[in-house]
Amino acid sequence: MNVLVLGAGQLARMMCLAGTPVGFNVCAFDVRSNKVVHPITLTSVHDNLASAIEHVDVITAEFEHIPSDILKICSDSGKFLPASQAIKAGGDRRIEKALLESANAANAKFHVIQDRQDFDKAISIIGLPLVLKSALEGYDGKGQWRLKSQQQADDVWQDIQTFLAESRPEQGIVSEQFVQFDREVSLIGARNARGEIQYYPLAENVHVDGVLSLSLVTKVEPALQQQAEDMFARIANELDYIGVLAIEFFDVNGTLLVNEIAPRVHNSGHWSQQGADTCQFENHLRAVCNKPLGNANLIRPTAMINILGEDQLPEALLQIPSLHIHWYGKDKRAGRKMGHINVCGESEQQLTQRLQQIAKLLDISKFPALERYL
């Protein structure tokens, strides 16, 4: 089957790598250059978007900030999955919060802000500290402010006001209670048109400066997994979701609060390439192409380490058993997601030992989440 992915980054590339042997021919639309390209070679494969839409069986996306005219053309073709409502919820925190409320999925207390009055109201109804997030276009912790004390309120509001003045009129701010979480976890699942769902085990995620650095999947914790799956099912059913959906949670003493959803394959699911029976990229393609889903079971404890802003790694890493490097073929830029490392162990203890070996070989200032293994 022929699949067009909106967005031509590493997620489209990994869908292509996973899907090609299974018989999914993946091409990708680069929204910046307006070209339809092969996701790995980046050479043009169709004259334009219209001819690609005509030619493919299914259209899907690797990101949620899709220009609305392009999303409309793709939805109007009747080939786009998941439904554009899911993409909109992933791309606008106001729609996302409304969705979480209607799906009865626990989330941090919030208030939508347009002006100073709303800002002051948010402080009084939610209390401090507050996290303020741009409603549109936020990713990797960008477009966020923290308000810790009333004394900072004028300065923070000044920054937000400048930001809003420079943004398009639809931009807004969602203020959120600062959650004192014990850890962050995420659930990746795939749902097909028949409403069948395959859930991956929860990944524990370590973020540094708002960016994912390390994901760990060592075992299934039944009570937490059940909570996450229940919320996932409610959200996915509410959207009649088809494809892979990721949900990020805060774990507060064993109770999960949804942080956000991503209507696509997700960085915290990259571990599944080596740690799960079927990886998230193959399962996304299976789901949107209306095929039976693959088993999402954990086959061995696995960790994923993001490579940010680096295009070389010590070769000695390759001597570590069950370690795999995935480069994205991108030009080096500070902080850019350049690739990731997956490493597995036959036991949690063996995985920890391998992470300790990795931590010794890498420059820890570039991989700060590995400091715990030194």
Residues of this chain that interact with ligand ATP (CB under 6 A) are 108, 131, 133, 138-142, 176, 178-179, 184, 207, 210, 248, 259-260
For residue 21, say if its preceding peptide bond is cis, omega within 30 degrees of 0. Answer: no
State the pairing for strand pair 35-37/25-30. antiparallel
Query: Which listed option, Mg ion, ligand ATP, none, makes contact with residue 323 (CB within 5 to 8 Å by class)?
Result: none
Q: Which is nearer to ligand ATP, 185 or 224 (CB)?
A: 185
Nearer to ligand ATP, 131 or 147 (CB): 131
CB of 260 to ligand ATP, least distance (A): 5
Name the residue among 69, 290, 90, 302 with its Cα closest to residue 196: 290
Q: Which is nearer to ligand ATP, 259 or 272 (by Cβ)?
A: 259
- Counting other chains too, the contacts that 145-153 makes at CB distance below 8 Å and 24 or more residues apart are 146/178, 147/123, 150/123, 153/119, 153/120, 153/123
Residue 345 CB, shortest distance to ligand ATP, in Å, is 26
Nearer to ligand ATP, 54 or 209 (CB): 209
Contact present, 26 and 55 (Cβ < 8 Å) = no
Amino acid identity, position 18: A
The residues near 319 (Cβ < 8 Å, ≥ 6 apart) are none
Smallest separation, CB 256 to Mg ion (Å): 15
Of 239-247, 248-256, 270-278, 307-315, which segment contacts Mg ion by CB under 5 A? 248-256
Residue 259 Cβ, how far from Mg ion at the closest point, in Å? Answer: 6
- C-beta of 108 vs 235, nearer to ligand ATP: 108
Which of ligand ATP, Mg ion, none does 62 bind, CB closer than 5 to 8 A by kind?
none
Count of residues near Mg ion by CB under 5 A: 1
Yes or no: say if 261 and 226 are a contact pair by the CB < 8 Å rule.
no
> Least Å distance between CB 262 and Mg ion?
7
Residue 143 CB, nearest approach to ligand ATP (Å):
7
Calculate the dihedral angle through the C-alpha atoms of 326, 8, 260, 169, rounding to the nearest 10 degrees.
150
138 binds, among ligand ATP, Mg ion, none (CB under 5 to 8 A by kind): ligand ATP
Q: H or E stretch including 235?
A: helix 222-239
Beta bridge partners of residue 134, listed in sequence order:
173
The option from ligand ATP, Mg ion, none interacting with 178 (CB < 5 to 8 A, set by class) reads ligand ATP
Q: Interacting stretch for Mg ion, rule CB under 5 A, among 12-20, 71-79, 169-177, 247-255?
A: 247-255
Partner touching 64 among ligand ATP, Mg ion, none, CB below 5 to 8 Å by kind? none
In terms of CB distance, is 56 or 147 closer to ligand ATP? Answer: 147
Q: Which is nearer to Mg ion, 62 or 248 (CB)?
A: 248
Determine the angle formed by the axes of helices 116-126 and 153-166, rounding to 10 degrees. 130
If the CB atoms of residues 179 and 233 are measured against ligand ATP, the closer one turns out to be 179
Q: E strand or H helix at 133, and its extent?
A: strand 130-134
> How large is the angle between the packed helices 68-76 and 84-91, nearest 10 degrees?
160
Q: Which does 23 bind (CB under 5 to 8 A by kind): ligand ATP, Mg ion, none?
A: none
- Rounded to the nearest whole angstrom, what is the least distance from the CB of residue 260 to Mg ion in the complex? 5
CB-based contact 270:284 (threshold 8 Å): no
Other Cβ atoms less than 10 A from the Cβ of 296: the count is 22
Binding residues (CB under 5 A) for Mg ion: these are 248
